[in-house]
Structure 1
Amino acid sequence: MTSVFSNSPLEDDARRARLFKGEIFTFSATAATTELITFARELIEEAFGGRDPETAQHEMPVEEFAGLLAELKPRFIHHERCKEILPKIFEEVGMSPQQTYFDVPRLRTSTADHYLDSGISYAYHAHRDCWYSAPFCQVNWWIPVYAVVPENVMAFHPRYFDRPVANGSARYDYGEWNRVGRPTAARHVHSDTREQPKPEEPLDLLPEIRIVPEPGGIIMFSGAQLHSTVPNTSGRTRYSIDFRTVHIDDVRTGRGAPNVDADCTGTTLGDFMRATDLERIPEEARVL
C-alpha cells in the first residue's frame, strides 16, 4: 500500500526512509517555490511574446512551438537564479543544505491532444528514474507552474514499487545518452526514435494515483517509483518543474529504495551539486 502524506512534520531522515519504501509526500506552496514558479512564468511568458502559454499550441505550427521550447528550456535550466532558489526550498522543508545535493531544475511541458509528445516535450511512458541510471537514494520533486487538473498531471503506479517489470534498461548507458540522446531532443518533433528504457511486458497500471497540487505545490517521491505522464486531454499545455535530490549519507552508505529491475550502466550522481556551494559529489562517493 502507498500512502500520501500532506504537509507532514516528519524530519528529513524519517521522511526519506518512508520515500524509500514507496510513500509519497506533498507540500503546499512555500515562499521559495512561489519565487521559483514566478521566475519560470516570467521566462515562459517572455518567450511566448503575448500569447497565452497554456493555449499557444492551438495558434502555432508544432515546429515553431518546439523551436521556442528548445530555446526556453535550457535558459531556465541553467539560469543562476534557479540555483539560488532551490536551497531555500530545501531549508523550508527541513533538509540540511550541507548534506543535500541537487541536479538542475528542468522545465517540463505536456501539450494537449498529442500536439507534441516527443523530443523537447516528451510524454513519458511508465518508467522508473532508476532505469535511467538514477541512484536508488534519489528523491524526485515535481512542482506545477500554472494550475493543473487531473487530466494533465502525472500518474503513479504503486503496485509496481516492489514488483519487477521487464524493461529495456540493460540497453541504456547514461554517458551515451548525454553524448547522443539528450542533445538531439529538439529534432524529434513528430516522433522520437531515441533509445529509452520502456516496459517490455503488458502492465496493469490501474489503480493509479493522480495528485493535483496548487501552483508551487510540491510532490516528492522516490526515483524508484513507477510513474508516467497522464495523456493530456485538458486542452491546455501543462508547465511544471522537476528536479532531484540526494543526501550525501545515503550516497555513501548505499541507503535507498530496493532495486527490483534496473540493469542500466553509468550513474547520474556526477550531475548533483551541494546546496551550499555547488560542489559536485566526490568521485569516491559515487556508489553505483
Structure 2
Amino acid sequence: MTSVFACSTFDDDARRDLIFKGEIFTFPATAASTELIAFARELIEEAFAGRNPETAQFEMPVEEFAGLLSDLKPRFIHHRRCKEILPKIFEEMGMNLERTYYDVPRLRTSTSDHYLDSGISYAYHAHRDCWYSAPFSQVNWWIPVFEVVPENVMAFHPRYFDRPVANGSARYDYGEWNRVGRPTAARHIHSDTREQPKPEEPLDLLPEIRIVPEPGGILMFSGAQLHSTVPNTSGRTRFSIDFRTVNLDDVLAGRGAPNVDAACSGTTLGDFMRASDLERIPEAARAM
C-alpha cells in the first residue's frame, strides 16, 4: 500500500527511506519553489508574446507551438537562475547540499485534447524512470507552474511498485538516447517513433492516485514508482517543472528502491551535479 504524506516533518534521511519503500510526499509552495515558478512564468510569457500560454494551443498551428517549445524549454533547462534557485529548495527541505546531487530541471508541457502528445511535449505512458537508466536511489520532484486540476496532472499506479511489469527497457541504452533520441525531440510532432521503454503486457492501472498541488507545490516520489501522464481533457495546457535528486551516501551504499523489472543499459548519474558547487558526481558513484 502506498501512502501520501502531506507537510511531513520527517528529516531527509527518513523521508528518502520511506520514498524508497514507495511512499509519496507532498508539500505546499515554499519561498524558493515560488521563486522558481515565477522565473519559469517570465520565460513562458516572453515566449508566448502576449498569448495566454495555457490556451495558446487553440490559436496556433501545432508546428508553430512545437517550434516555440523547442526554444523555450532549453532556455529554461540551462539557465543559470535555475542552478541558483534549486539549492535553495533543497535547503528549505532540510537536505545536505554537500551530499545532494541533482540533474537539470525540465520544463514540461501537457497539451489538452491530444493537440501535441509527442516529441517536445511527449505524453508519457505508464513507466518507471528506472526503465530509462535512472538510479534506484533517485527521488523525483514535480512542481506545477500554473494551477492544475485532476484532468491534467500525473497518475501514480502504486499496485505495481513492487510488482514486475513486462517492458522494453532491455532495448534502451542511455548513451544512445543522448546521441540520437533526445536531440530529435522537436521533429516528432504528429507521432513519436523513438525507441522508449513501454509496458509490454496489459496493465490494470486503476485504482490510481492523482495529486493536485498548488502552483509551486512539491511532489516527491521514487524513480521506481510507476506513473503516467493523465490524458489532458482540461482545456488548458499544463506547464510543470521536474527534476531529480540523489544522495551520494545512498548511491555509494546501494540504498534505494527495489529493481523489480528494469534491464536497461547505462546510467543517468553522470548528469547529476552537487548542489553546493555544481561538481559532477564522482566516477566511483557512476560505476555503482
TM-score range, shorter chain: over 0.9
Partner of 2:222: 222
Q: Conserved in 2, the CA contact under 8 Å of 1:252 and 1:286?
A: no
Q: Does 1:181 align with 2:181?
A: yes
* SS of 1:231 mapped into structure 2: coil
1:150 to partner: Cα distance: 0.0
Equivalent residue pairs, number = 288
Counterparts of 1:91 and 1:24, CA distance in 2: 20
Partner of 1:249: 249
Which amino acid letter does the alignment assign opposite residue 216 of structure 2? G
Q: Conserved in 2, the CA contact under 8 Å of 1:136 and 1:223?
A: yes
* SS of 2:65 mapped into structure 1: helix
RMSD: 0.4
Q: Does 1:282 align with 2:282?
A: yes
* SS of 2:209 mapped into structure 1: coil
* SS of 2:66 mapped into structure 1: helix
Counterparts of 1:275 and 1:95, CA distance in 2: 10
Counterparts of 2:24 and 2:64, CA distance in 1: 37
Counterparts of 2:285 and 2:85, CA distance in 1: 26
Moved over 4 A (4+): none
CA offsets, 1:107-126, max 9 Å, x none? 00000000000000000000
* SS of 1:109 mapped into structure 2: strand
TM (norm. structure 1) is 1.00
Partner of 2:18: 18
CA offsets, 1:188-236, max 9 Å, x none? 0000000000000000000000000000000000000000000000000
1:285 to partner: Cα distance: 1.6
Q: Conserved in 2, the CA contact under 8 Å of 1:251 and 1:287?
A: no
Counterparts of 1:212 and 1:156, CA distance in 2: 12
Counterparts of 2:281 and 2:64, CA distance in 1: 38
Counterparts of 2:258 and 2:198, CA distance in 1: 19
* SS of 1:147 mapped into structure 2: coil
Counterparts of 1:30 and 1:141, CA distance in 2: 14
Partner of 2:157: 157
What pairs up with 1:168-207 in 2 under 5 angstroms?
168-207=168-207
Q: Conserved in 2, the CA contact under 8 Å of 1:254 and 1:287?
A: no
* SS of 1:17 mapped into structure 2: helix
Counterparts of 2:8 and 2:212, CA distance in 1: 17
Partner of 1:61: 61
What pairs up with 1:1-288 in 2 under 5 angstroms?
1-288=1-288
CA offsets, 1:136-165, max 9 Å, x none? 000000000000000000000000000000
The answer for unaligned runs of 5 or more in structure 2 is none
Counterparts of 1:154 and 1:19, CA distance in 2: 17
Counterparts of 1:140 and 1:70, CA distance in 2: 23
Q: Conserved in 2, the CA contact under 8 Å of 1:144 and 1:217?
A: yes
1:287 to partner: Cα distance: 3.8
Which amino acid letter does the alignment assign opposite residue 93 of structure 2? V
Which amino acid letter does the alignment assign opposite residue 9 of structure 2? P
Which amino acid letter does the alignment assign opposite residue 58 of structure 1? F
* SS of 2:239 mapped into structure 1: strand
Counterparts of 2:133 and 2:287, CA distance in 1: 11
Which amino acid letter does the alignment assign opposite residue 118 of structure 1? S
1:284 to partner: Cα distance: 1.3
Percent of matched pairs sharing the same residue: 86
